[in-house]
Amino acid sequence: MPDLIHDLVNDRIQTLHREAEEQRLVLRVTRVQRARRKVKRANERLHEALSRQI
């Protein structure tokens, strides 16, 4: 019986580690998407500014 409990605890720990890693990945993807949107907006503003100078 103690082995079963030990196995269940280990499985739960592994699951929590996997879930934590998934959350870190989601956070990184979200940050990259936000950064890309900021770059796109900055490029659009730059393009508009350059167009006005011509």
Q: What is the pLDDT of residues 7-31, one digit of tens each?
A: 999 999 999 999 999 999 999 999 9
| 1 vs 36 pLDDT, higher one | 36
Collapsing DSSP to helix, strand or coil, 52 comes out as: helix
pLDDT of residue 6: 96
pTM of the entire predicted model = 0.70
Tokens of 6: 């030990």
Measured between alpha carbons, how far is 33 from 28 in angstroms, rounded to an integer? 9
Q: Parse the chain into domains and list their residue ranges.
A: 1-54
Cα 8 to Cα 48: distance, rounded to the nearest angstrom = 60
* CA dist list (Å): 39 to 7, 31, 32: 48, 12, 10
Identify the band that residue 1 occupies on the pLDDT scale cut at 50, 70 and 90.
Answer: confident
Structure tokens at 36: 């890309």
